[in-house]
Amino acid sequence: MEFYNEMTVSFKSLSINESFARVVVASFVTSLDPTLEDLADIKTAVSEAVTNAIIHGYEGKDGIITIHCTITGKTVTIKIIDKGVGIEDIEKARQPFYTSKPEMERSGMGFTVMETFMDRMEVESRPGEGTTVTLIKTIE
């Protein structure tokens, strides 16, 4: 039978929790015996998604971010879930260099970074309801 594992963690939308989120996902993935490069890629992608949930989803206000992580065989699927403002136009938001907060000196490269460092990225979002970003990577 194929190996299966899962975990869920929830935390407040504080920037000090970005490093916590990165480390907790990296620790969970360790069972797949990833290379340091794989781990760095996953940490970078998780950081971008969690930062987005904090500054865009909850706009710096109080909220809860949930990370749901599964491992099926050699594939890790990471969902970063917020119940914040949501995204009006997902296609536009995913474009390289698009940012709704240019005044905050955002690069607009977060989604592009997530797509580059993972095998696949999916974005589900509804204005007023929140956003779920799914990051998928197979560890060879």
Q: Is 99 in the site for ligand ADP (CB under 6 A)?
A: yes
Q: Is 110 in the site for Mg ion (CB under 5 A)?
A: yes
Q: Is 134 in the site for Mg ion (CB under 5 A)?
A: no
Q: Which CB atom, from 70 or from 86, has the smaller least distance to ligand ADP? A: 86
Kindly state the smallest distance separating residue 125's Cβ from ligand ADP, in Å: 7
Q: Which CB atom, from 21 or from 93, has the smaller least distance to ligand ADP? A: 93
Q: Which CB atom, from 34 or from 57, has the smaller least distance to ligand ADP? A: 57
Q: For residue 89, which phi and psi values (nearest 5 degrees)?
A: -125, 95
Q: Is 11 in the site for ligand ADP (CB under 6 A)?
A: no
Q: Annotated catalytic residue: which of 106, 115, 124, 140?
A: 106
Q: Is 63 in the site for ligand ADP (CB under 6 A)?
A: no
- Judged by phi (left if over 0) then psi (alpha if -120 to 50, else beta), residue 108 lies in left
Q: Which CB atom, from 28 or from 111, has the smaller least distance to ligand ADP? A: 111
Q: By CB under 6 A, name the one of 78, 87, 118, 135 that touches ligand ADP.
A: 87
Active site annotation includes 106? yes
How many CA atoms, within 13 angstroms, populate the side-chain half-sphere of residue 31?
Answer: 16
Q: Is 111 in the site for ligand ADP (CB under 6 A)?
A: yes
Active site annotation includes 2? no
